[in-house]
Every structure is written in C-alpha cells, then in structure tokens.
Amino acid sequence: MKILVTGGAGFIGSHIHRLLLDKGNSVIVYDNLSRGFKQSIDSRAEFILGSLNEKEKLEKALKEVDAVIHLASYIAVGESMENPFSYIENNIIGTAYLLEAMRNTGVKKIIFSSTACVYGNPDELPLTEDSPLKEPTNIYGFTKLTIENLLKFYHKNYRFDAVILRYFNAYGPNELHTPETHIIPNIIRAVLEKQPVPIYWKGEQIRDFIYVKDLASAHLDVLNLKDFHIFNVGTGIPVKINDLLEKIFKIAGYKTKIKDMGERAGDVKATYASSDKINKIVGWKAKTSLEEGLKNTIAFFQRQEK
C-alpha cells in the first residue's frame, strides 16, 4: 500500500512509518517539522515538508495514496489549557483541511490518532469503547473529540473508511518534544542528570503506559478494515506514578530527590484501558512489559546524552 503519514516525523509517527516500510509499504511522511524532527524520518520514506493548510501541496501528496494515518496534532495537555486557540487551529482546522483534500483526491481511508482524554473523568475503570464520553477536562481532549465527530460525519456523508485509535499513555525511544510534558521522559531525564524529579499530584495518579512500538503496530493491524471503527489502544494495566518512579529508580540503580509540582489543570486522577475490542477484531495486543519498555527508553536517553 501507499500510505501518507501526517506528523510522521514526530515521536509516534517515526515508529509507525518505519514499521510500515519494514512491512513493504510505500510511505510519504508529510510534516511541517514544527514539532517533529527530520532525523527521525527513515531514508526509505518520501518526505514532504508541508502544513495541512497548504492545499495544493497536500492534494499533490495525496495522489495515488491508499490510506492516510493522521498524527499531525499538538498534544500537550497543559499547553492546550494555556493556548487553546493554537490547539483548535492546528488540530481541528488542520484536520478539516486534510479531510477536504482527501475528498478532493478520492482518498477515502483514514486512521486517526485520538486519545483517552475524550473520556474525561471516568466513572468506572477500565475504560471501554462504550464508556460515556464526558466533557473533556482540557482543550487537547476537546480537539480530539471534535475530530472524532468530524470523522463520523465524513464516514456517513462521504463514505470514508475511518478507524479511530484512542491512545493511552505512549512512551519509548524518539520522544523528543520541546518542551517535554510527558511523565516518563521527564522522570528519566531528571534521573539521568541526577536532578529532582518533577511530580504532580504527589504521584498518586494512575495511568496506562503503552510502549510506542506496540502502539505503532496497532496502526498496521487496522489498515485493511473498512467502515467505521473506534478502538482503545492500551495495556489494560493500571500503574501509579509513584510505582513507575520506583521502577525507573531500580533500573537506573539509584534514586534522586522529588520536586513536588502540586496540581495541574486538565489532569484526571485515573485512567486505564480495556483493549479487548481491538484484540477481538484484528488480534492486536500490547506485548512489551513496562520493565522492558522502560529499559529500552532509558537506554535511548542515555545515548542522547553522549
């Protein structure tokens, strides 16, 4: 297949497009590099430097493409609360440009990277795809939920095949955001530099951490699906931040001090997935243990420091 990956130079996109290439697909990475990194792009992929609002460039890139994997979005919860319009403009309006370009060029298959944030503060755990969608606690989640609704509309009215993957907390090599807001790379960097580790909410939050290569493989497993689908993509294993911190200390072989960051707007107390649906439909499941994934991630950041 020929697949266009928007945001393919980013953290998750870099793993997805490399795996697509390994499986014999033709790949176009479409990225404006505002938050991605050119060095993360595999040399086997065609790279187009472009933004989603560049209509002619985007439509030219979509010619003869079989499917789009859409990851071009801003993703920081805290930043979304501080700069809501930038998230609305980039995530929602950018996706609208993409969907229209796809419609104009006859590309009718899209896989979209959504988020567990669309569930808001959950009443029950684990979260299933049938769990109620609450009012999002942050603008980032709001943009993703709005895009999900856009995809439903394009499926119903323009016969798009659309797969929505609701990610839980991805981590792993190549996570090079600036600024970095995700907990695992921030802990690892602080520990490797022997600096105080920034921890919100006293470390009592619960999350579902999924290794990025497992997450990337889900995109390939759903590529051939038709119609409209929504899947959670997580491990189903709840992990308290304080327990995560202890695992990282154990792998590093030493502990550092904790920097209490207090509370943070937009966070939920606990979230973890049931991914039974995607396992039943296409056979996907997470394979990498948290310990193995953390070892690989720590090794990546150690190489970055050399």
Q: Give residue limits of the domains in the chain.
A: 2-170+209-234
pLDDT in tens, 233-284: 999 999 999 999 999 999 999 999 999 989 887 688 899 999 999 999 999 9
The torsion region of residue 64 among left (phi > 0), alpha (psi -120 to 50) and beta comes to left
Which positions are catalytic? 140
CA distances from 245 to 57, 197, 204, 258 (A): 45, 9, 11, 10
Is pLDDT of 177 > 70? no
Q: What pLDDT is attached to residue 34?
A: 92
pLDDT at 306: 65
pLDDT average, residue stretch 294-302: 95
Cα 11-17-22 angle, rounded to 5 deg: 130
pLDDT for residue 305: 73
Q: Regarding predicted confidence, which is higher, 13 or 261?
A: 13
What is the C-alpha to C-alpha distance for residues 298 and 305, in angstroms, rounded to an integer?
11
Give the residue-averaged pLDDT of 219-231. Answer: 98
Asked: is 2-170+209-234 a CATH 2.30.42.10 domain? The reply is no
Please give the Cα distance from 160 to 163 (Å, whole number).
10
Both ends of the chain: CA-CA distance in Å? 38
Average pLDDT over the chain reads: 94
Confidence of residue 179 (pLDDT cuts 50, 70, 90): low
Residue 302: per-residue pLDDT? 92
Q: Within 10 A of 5 (CB to CB), how many other CB atoms are there?
A: 28
